[in-house]
Structure formats: structure tokens, C-alpha cells
Structure 1
Amino acid sequence: MGMTAHRSAHRTRTAPGAAAPPIAVPANIDEYISGFAPATQALLEQVRQAVHAAAPDAREVISYRIPAFKAHGILVYFAAFKKHIGFYPPVRGSAELEEAVAPYAGEKGNLRFAMDRPLPLELIDRITRLRLQQDQTRGGPGKRH
């Protein structure tokens, strides 16, 4: 029997540069986090808790195969890669905050937090609060973004 006979019926895919082997789309954030090494799991949990602290009523969801937090619309996404934790979407709407995130910004504005440095949890808090405020201003029942 070939290798294909042992593959899951679920479609699998890993983003380029991702740290984990291909897995089926995770059912929830716990399942996503469990697919990584313990050190990476700890970092992902720190991000998760920081977002929860800033937006306690936000719902945890999986979107684009990665963890996300949703109020009316998606507030933030995060994901683990080989050497960094990605945090999305790009920060817009606060010049002060845009300046604060500049050292972490990738070429498309997404943020990259190096795994070999302490996570900027206060910055994650500020970003999440800004996104929550933006969501409440734009959002409302039935609105998507």
C-alpha cells in the first residue's frame, strides 16, 4: 500500500515557512496550538491570553486555517511560523500605534514577533483594543468585514 492510503480524508496544507507539519484544518484554537512544540505552544498561549484580556467578549474562531478572534468582524489573527509569531491584520488608524509596531512590521504590514525574544504583550493589547474599537464603530449585527 502506498503512502496515500494512510492520509486523512481531510485536505491538508501548511503555509510556506510554517513550523508544523501539514495537518487537517484545526477545529478550534486548542487544536491549532496542540500541533506545535511546547515552546511554541507557550508563546501562542501568551498571545491568546493577551487578546482575551483586551477583548474578553470576542469569540475564538479558525479562519484561513489559523486562530482568530471575532466580535462583529474579525479583530485579529495569529499564527506560528519557524522563527516568529505572525499577528494580523496590519495596524491602521492610529499614527502612534503604527509607529510603535514599525519594528515588527513585515513587508505587507503584518507583524512578526521573533520567537527568541519576549513577546510585546502590551503592544498586542493595544492593537487588539484598537481593532475592537474599529470593529464597534464599523460593525454591527449583520455587517461583515
Structure 2
Amino acid sequence: MWTCPKCGRTFARNGQDHYCGKPPETIDEYILNQPEKAQPLLKEINETIRAAIPDTMEKISWSMPTYWKKRNLIQFAAFKNHVGLYPGPEAVEKFADRLTGYQTQKGTIRLPYDQPLDWELVAEIAVWCEKENGK
């Protein structure tokens, strides 16, 4: 067990990522609370998704920026060396041939801070998520 020295919460994993204190209420607030090196990529991901699926609701769910339409469609979150994009396992499988340059795992795409991103692909994944899951 590990206890956060800032907030006192206890976690199973040592150094577990979490929010100390009050969680953010908006995606923009979430981004502003992240380390400076993460903010430009987070802003671009958010703007890309927002433009691709403008008729969805933006919210924080599971402490992550979330685009929602009847259910969570796509989420993202900052980590030490990457941003995790969470479109779900079906989306990762659907776009697997175009995700060969990224680490993927069951429903997760890792977007490193130091690697160029295919913004068109991010937008296409968001549109696919809305089409398939926002019914």
C-alpha cells in the first residue's frame, strides 16, 4: 500500500496517479491542472475531438476528460510520458492497422509527448466512437 504524502489517500500501487483535493469540473480546468509539458498535447487532443464530434457533451468522468452522448464515447488523460486515449476496445481493433506506431492495449492508445500525432486519425476515431456508441 502507498499513501500520497499530499492528500493522505491510500492506493495499492506505489506512486498511483490521482487528484489531490477537489477534482476539476471541466476539461479546460483538467488541462490547466496538468504539468506544463502535457498541456499542449492535451489542448490539441481536446480541440481535435471537440471539432470532430461537436454535438457531444463534455464532462469529467472517472477523473478524465470525457466526451459523452448517452454514454462515455471517448476519454483521455495525462500521464508522465504519454497521454492515454480511451476510445474502447472496438475502436482500437477497428483502427489497429493505422495505430502501428503507438502502444495499444485493450481500449487504450498511448500517445507519447515526444512523437508526432496523426490528428486526422484522432478525429476519425472520435467520429467512429460517436457513430458506434452514441446511438
The two structures have a TM-score, normalised by structure 1, of 0.73
Between the two proteins, what is the percent identity of the paired residues? 31
Task: Determine which of 38, 44, 63 is the counterpart of 1:46.
Answer: 44
Max radius of gyration: which structure? 1
What is the CA–CA distance in structure 2 between the aligned matches of 1:95 and 1:109, rounded to whole Å?
A: 8
The 1:17–1:104 alpha-carbon spacing in structure 2 relative to 1, beyond 3 Å, is: farther
Task: Determine which of 101, 104, 118 is the counterpart of 1:103.
Answer: 101
**Aligned-residue RMSD, C-alpha:** 2.9
Q: Which residue of 2 aligns with 1:72?
A: 70
Q: Which residue of 2 aligns with 1:90?
A: 88
- The one-letter amino acid paired with 1:70 is W
Equivalent pairs counted in the alignment come to 128
- The one-letter amino acid paired with 1:62 is I
1:1-145 mapped onto 2 (5 Å cutoff): 18=17, 22-92=20-90, 97-136=95-134, 139=135
Structure having the larger proportion of residues in strand: 2
Structure 1 residue matching 2:104: 3-state secondary structure: coil
- The one-letter amino acid paired with 2:113 is M
Q: Is the 8 A contact 1:76 1:88 kept in 2?
A: yes
Where structure 1 has 5 or more consecutive residues not aligned to the other structure, the ranges are: 1-5, 140-145
What is the CA–CA distance in structure 2 between the aligned matches of 1:95 and 1:47, rounded to whole Å?
A: 20
The 1:113–1:23 alpha-carbon spacing in structure 2 relative to 1, beyond 3 Å, is: farther
Q: Which residue of 2 aligns with 1:3?
A: none
The two structures have a TM-score, normalised by structure 2, of 0.78
What is the CA–CA distance in structure 1 between the aligned matches of 2:26 and 2:61, rounded to whole Å?
A: 10
